[in-house]
Structure 1
Amino acid sequence: MIQENQGADIQSADPVVQVEVLLVDIPAKFPRQDAIQPFLKQETPMIRLTTRAGVVGVGYTYTLGTGGTAIFRLLADTLGPQLPGADARAVEALWWRLNRSINSISPGITASLALAAVDIALWDIRCQQAGLPLHLLAGGAHARLPMYDTEGGWLNIDDDALVANAVSARDRGFHGFKVKVGRSLAEDLRRLRKVRDVLPDTMQMMIDANQIFTQGEAIHRAAAYAAAGAAWFEEPMPASDLRGHRLLRASTAMPVAVGETLQNPHVFREYLQQDACSIVQVDAARVGGITPWLKVAHMAEAFNLPVAPHYLMELHVSLACAVPNATLIEHIPQLDVLLSAPLVMSPDGYVTPPGVPGVGIDWCWRTIEKLQHAREVIH
């Protein structure tokens, strides 16, 4: 057990008394493919923490088809058993203690994804105890933010359907449309030009390579993609290639977007210090939770760079609205099958963060119980 912090007010402490760990699989709504892998299902490890006062905080994380059972076991066997008796208010202390308890596998993506689930649940409790929604407790910088669509631009979608999806995104009010790239340059450019032709000048067209290119290929293609109207070049190379991103960034005026596969704030620091990116796409699950997400966002602010978070739109709408340098929310509605009230965009393409105390995700527990295939309870 993690003991209550020294110096804490014991009378006002609200310790965790029960930990419930779940694993839920969400099938993809249709076949999806990027330049690296298919996206057939989302594995969704979840954790539900109950405090002595009866406050229930829910956290979650995800993988795209593999590794969910490893995260479930890490939560159930190692992290979860440390939480009963812990003061749920001490979010920062708990994050660091849990992280150090798995030091032999941290930093690492499995560790970060598991830590994220716990951290999100603790923030859910923290917000409820404060009587505030996440976007206000974490900063309150924006009342709403614009959305862009990724759901219609997967690499396996044929040209006609791709253009139809771009038109639909335009007509629904989205502020941008993302197209996956990674075919031959000629094929990519053909698809991009067709999409750009049906979008108004006020609507951005982003491109995402999902880390497929070598340094030379990324630099070679950047000029052609920019000429086709790309607003940013996302994940052009493996995230471990910091030098390559720095050279690409120096070779093109097109913004370079990275961050969805960077696993801790220290790596983001290196990217920012070396001027290796233009847009920070920090992902709350993959970076280890809300606590490190906010650190990365404010670090980007110090470098005068925008944040456009990756995936997890139901959580990121609140986090992005908390910080001043957030610009866009990505639309991929994978989670809505588990929700009682899915996220809704306004006709002018904006989303407003939930106003209820907590992280603002309205889970449908009846559906979760049907789709879960693993569950453990820890007292």
Structure 2
Amino acid sequence: MARIEHVEIRMVDLPPKVKRTDAIQSFVSQETPIVTITDADGASGTGYSYTIGTGGSSVMRLLSDHLVPRILGQDADRVEAIWRDLEYATHATTIGAITALALAAIDTALWDLRARKQGLPLWVLAGGAKDRAPLYTTEGGWLHIEPEALVDDALAARSAGFRGSKIKIGRPHVSEDLARLSAVRRAVGDGFEIMTDANQGFLVDEAIRRAGRFGELDLAWIEEPLPADDVEGHVRLARSTATPIAVGESLYSIRHFRDYMARGACSVVQVDVARIGGITPWLKVAHAAEAFDLPVSPHFLMELHVSLVCAVPNGKYVEYIPQLEDLTTEGMRVEDGMAVPSSAPGLGIAWDRAAVERRSLPAFTRTFTAA
């Protein structure tokens, strides 16, 4: 047994390097809670999660006031037991983003600690299904970007070996979305994937209408076409179109995913390790998706998701959106449009400790020590 002796929590605010807009919001800030856990052997692991501009202070208060004190003195090897204890301790605030993001920061730190102590990279420890995964890019496809720029970005991504580009949809009229997507399809040809993302911006009738108009474009998927809690609406939409329907970034429970998969309401699973509450539940969702013959293409967090996509046999794509460049000494390795997970023990994230400390917000920096 290696008791948890010391926990440090911080939050860094990372403004996006490009303007990010979608059908319902702008991505204005990337609040990044960071948790470092040290055990009685002196080994440590670091985990993190994120917001897109709101809720970071609430995540940090949940960590400092309720979750971190509960894990002090616990056996760091018992990751499942700790996760379940914290889930039950926050029963009154689950299921939802704030609690999930706090749980994820702790759980990813524990997995990093476990992997480091065993001398294994996360992608091997969690399954080791493959040593690389194809990439698609999102950063050049935001809703405000004009068709010419969308085309230029997609062509550049194709030249770099990427397998696809994601284009945001949700312009006021279907004709506008269709024109943007058609311009990209004409430019890249049939062999390059076009993913789309509505960010929950449609009602069912409009989603069905647009999916029908997009059918000729052979899209890789339509992501989050409807509000995430509308399972029945997704069932209706999925039955109306041959285009795959992708969900997951706004689902916070393994049971939510179970309902979608069991009812045929999705065909691409985009489980997000931060929003599902950590690596522990992420793997459960991924393995459940395998049982339904569904691919997993997680949302965001490429520096962490590269290892998880490579851990499971049904991991399909990694979404290319750099997040941690300002906090790391080296980025995710990319070879011919493929994401390659790190061979270093742990999550595979090379934290720049000096940069993390320098950019941490003092109001949310705290340390805890077991009695």
- Superposition TM-score, scaled by structure 2 size: 0.97
- Return the letter of the residue paired with 1:103: H
Identity of aligned residues (%): 50
Question: Where does residue 117 of structure 2 map in the other structure?
Answer: 129
What is the count of residue pairs matched by the alignment?
366
Question: Where does residue 355 of structure 1 map in the other structure?
Answer: 343
Question: Where does residue 113 of structure 1 map in the other structure?
Answer: 101
Question: Where does residue 6 of structure 1 map in the other structure?
Answer: none
2:59 match: secondary structure: helix
Residues in 2 aligned to 1:22 and 1:225: alpha-carbon distance in whole angstroms? 44
Deviation (angstroms), 1:31: 1.4
* 1:306 equivalenced with 2:269 (yes/no): no
Deviation (angstroms), 1:171: 1.4
Residues in 2 aligned to 1:296 and 1:262: alpha-carbon distance in whole angstroms? 11
- Return the letter of the residue paired with 1:256: I
Residues in 1 aligned to 2:5 and 2:52: alpha-carbon distance in whole angstroms? 31
Contact residue 196 and residue 229 of structure 1 kept, 8 A: no
Deviation (angstroms), 1:186: 0.9
Question: Where does residue 243 of structure 2 map in the other structure?
Answer: 254
Unaligned residue ranges in structure 1 (runs of 5+): 1-12
Residues in 2 aligned to 1:273 and 1:229: alpha-carbon distance in whole angstroms? 25
- Return the letter of the residue paired with 1:323: V
Deviation (angstroms), 1:338: 1.2
Contact residue 76 and residue 110 of structure 2 kept, 8 A: yes
Contact residue 29 and residue 334 of structure 1 kept, 8 A: no
- Return the letter of the residue paired with 1:28: P
Question: Where does residue 65 of structure 1 map in the other structure?
Answer: 53
Residues in 2 aligned to 1:128 and 1:154: alpha-carbon distance in whole angstroms? 37
Question: Where does residue 38 of structure 1 map in the other structure?
Answer: 26
**Residue correspondence of structure 1 range 171-186 to structure 2 within 5 A:** 171-183=159-171, 184-186=173-175
Residues in 1 aligned to 2:204 and 2:195: alpha-carbon distance in whole angstroms? 20
- Return the letter of the residue paired with 1:186: S
**Residue correspondence of structure 1 range 6-85 to structure 2 within 5 A:** 13-85=1-73
- Return the letter of the residue paired with 2:258: R
Contact residue 107 and residue 277 of structure 2 kept, 8 A: yes
Contact residue 18 and residue 49 of structure 1 kept, 8 A: yes
Of 364, 368, 371, the match for 1:378: 368
Q: Which moved more, 1:269-278 or 1:166-175?
A: 166-175
- Superposition TM-score, scaled by structure 1 size: 0.95
* 1:101 equivalenced with 2:84 (yes/no): no
Residues in 2 aligned to 1:88 and 1:197: alpha-carbon distance in whole angstroms? 53
Deviations 1:201-253 (A, max 9, x none): 22100110000000111011101112133221110000010000001111111
Deviations 1:172-221 (A, max 9, x none): 11100000000021111111011111214221001100000001110111
- Return the letter of the residue paired with 1:138: A
Deviations 1:266-324 (A, max 9, x none): 10000011110000000000000000000000000001111111100010000110100
- Return the letter of the residue paired with 1:194: A
Contact residue 149 and residue 330 of structure 1 kept, 8 A: yes
Of 61, 67, 79, the match for 1:91: 79
